[in-house]
Structure 1
């Protein structure tokens, strides 16, 4: 089996690295951060593909690394239930999944401080990869899983850039035990929505900071999508020290006046249980919503995987699932091709381009229906999370 260099050590890169190593490949992960990655975002809805490796290959019980809810509820402004349906979802945190995968891969071949600067075909075959520290590495297969800000994509497809969706996601968590009785009762067993003019908010339970999944020991996660016009985005994403941020304002960096406006708007517009969550979040943070789609994913013996290829809006909860699925299909195609990298990549690209393109459009339609066209409706089957389609 071929040697593999995976550039990018987040969830998609680690999943691909583990699967290719299981296949017998000699795999090294190169992560540009100088320290192991820390929690990104507060919580994630997890589809089966996201947790497939821990569950199927590591034997981790799904209930150990995710919380679950049995209901989808849409609340009215007064807190009454506008729509309810039984549907099971699972939720986790980015850090919980990351630590599970990293512990399985191990530290020996997970190299930190590895900032890729360029790569090119090697005259003797394979790919020659250069890093900022001056080291030059040859590999049979280069998997570029370096995220929405992918260096690889900028080198290969300089004309492809991130597209701002026209809105941002306010995020934050509060310990479940801090909610009063009515708020706890309303939120602890459901994915809870509230639809507002040109906006919507979601609330759901995720594992606690120590991974606890028992009711009462979890965190309640909030995501509120709010429109910010593109000409205003740069000013909005200027932090409390006056420094512009390109994509997000991390916890503790959001200006006081923005936090105050968020809380005032929550008190005026949100159902009481959801407003209580917003009020109790100590340091809300913001992520601008972007998406990216590519016309190609394979370039010789190099490929773009996960968000490096298709970074999608979060409305189908399928971003991490898509990255994981890219890895599963790549391993399957490489095995079917008997280790022949060009043959495997050709088959892989056809399937994953189609999947990524469909997912990109689904997320755009859902986001636009909430934020701009007013067609986001409680109970709409399009809203059921899924990688291959609603509920799939």
Structure 2
């Protein structure tokens, strides 16, 4: 490994901009800085992102920064379970297997990455509206009036990335036919029976055209001890596209959300219906977690697959390039894999456009392969009702089931 480090190209004296300050953007920024780039991150949200998001299943690519590069270690930012299990309608275990997984909360992981990057070159409240490239570099224009130039620009600005339209104009957001209800509850607030059943597993509860999975994540303040964590869930429910989806995704103020509704924004009548449905459709332990959630939130599940991820000295990574349904628990891992592959490409080349051109095909293939798999998983669980508990095809993984 030391030989590889010694022979990588040194990009000192060059500047890189990362647009999007979430987990994927911070991973890319840290790796570009490691190559010698002077890196600035620009995040559109005006306030700190710390409190956002729910749980993340940790794949090797996601954790790789903390394994190889950070003074912080994986066990400081994650918790784990030993099993995957499926519950029947009376909390009976209908399938259980040894399958260790680690998890983090979005906030815990974000704080750890930001601690490594620092805040001096991390800018909030800056929305990148457009860019142009010339022979000397790339200029990014922000709605604030700010303009920034760099040798390399990486867009990691999520599923709604405005720059994807410029780089891959044929890419459209396609609605899957269902939404994901999400929420968290402290382990200490569920009954002892439910805690005992759920605390050491990823737990599934299935019903016709719907399913939920539940797993523990660090608490809001990063607590990792069993009994002090949060139980996190995603519950997939079918909602037809059109007026029904529009009504559901309209927040309490009367504004139609594009992809997600944050905690406290979902109309009360839909929360009440969701809680009623949980009692009817889910195993009692899973239903209890849903019912005890004070402020559940919503994400409409969309697909987006880019046909291009690079244009000259500009790259798309993570959900900005392609957004995959969460069934393989691989979205964050894909963003990290994109960043690590970019790191490798730039390590081997002294020309940014050339490095991006070599990097792009493999990353496009990775996104397309993941998309095909999660679409099949969604079809089995939400429409065909052919999801078989414990079947290997249903396992998490970025590169394939269990991989």
Give the TM interval when normalised to the shorter protein. Answer: over 0.9
Matches within 5 A, 1:1-392: 1=11, 2-122=14-134, 124-231=135-242, 232-337=244-349, 339-392=350-403
Q: Is the 8 A contact 2:24 2:318 kept in 1?
A: yes
Cα deviation, residue 156, structure 1: 2.8
Cα deviation, residue 362, structure 1: 0.9
Cα deviation, residue 332, structure 1: 0.8
Query: How far apart in 2 are the matches of 1:255 and 1:117?
Result: 31
The structure-2 alpha-carbon separation of the partners of 1:96 and 1:267, relative to structure 1 and needing over 3 Å to count, comes to: same
The structure-2 alpha-carbon separation of the partners of 1:314 and 1:64, relative to structure 1 and needing over 3 Å to count, comes to: same
Q: Is the 8 A contact 2:206 2:282 kept in 1?
A: no
Q: 105-114 or 131-140, which moves further after superposition?
A: 131-140
TM-score under structure 2 length normalisation: 0.94
Query: How far apart in 1 are the matches of 2:147 and 2:193?
Result: 59
Query: How far apart in 1 are the matches of 2:126 and 2:20?
Result: 9
Moved over 4 A (4+): none
Matched positions, count: 390
Q: Is the 8 A contact 1:153 1:308 kept in 2?
A: yes
Q: Secondary structure at the match of 2:252?
A: coil
| Residue deviations 1:75-97 (CA, integer Å, cap 9, x gap) | 00111011000000111111111
Query: How far apart in 2 are the matches of 1:173 and 1:92?
Result: 13
Cα deviation, residue 55, structure 1: 2.7
The residue that corresponds to 2:4 in the other structure is none
Q: Is the 8 A contact 1:54 1:100 kept in 2?
A: no
**5+ residue gaps, structure 2:** 1-10
The structure-2 alpha-carbon separation of the partners of 1:109 and 1:278, relative to structure 1 and needing over 3 Å to count, comes to: same
Cα deviation, residue 117, structure 1: 1.7
Q: Secondary structure at the match of 1:373?
A: coil
Q: Is the 8 A contact 1:297 1:305 kept in 2?
A: yes
The residue that corresponds to 2:7 in the other structure is none
| Residue deviations 1:199-256 (CA, integer Å, cap 9, x gap) | 1111110001111110000001121100000021101111223322222221112122
- RMSD, matched Cα: 1.2
**5+ residue gaps, structure 1:** none
Cα deviation, residue 179, structure 1: 1.3
Q: Is the 8 A contact 2:209 2:381 kept in 1?
A: yes
Q: Is the 8 A contact 1:234 1:246 kept in 2?
A: no
Query: How far apart in 2 are the matches of 1:255 and 1:137?
Result: 40
Query: How far apart in 1 are the matches of 2:174 and 2:51?
Result: 24
Q: Is the 8 A contact 2:167 2:309 kept in 1?
A: no
Query: How far apart in 2 are the matches of 1:346 and 1:157?
Result: 15
Cα deviation, residue 38, structure 1: 3.5
Cα deviation, residue 35, structure 1: 2.0
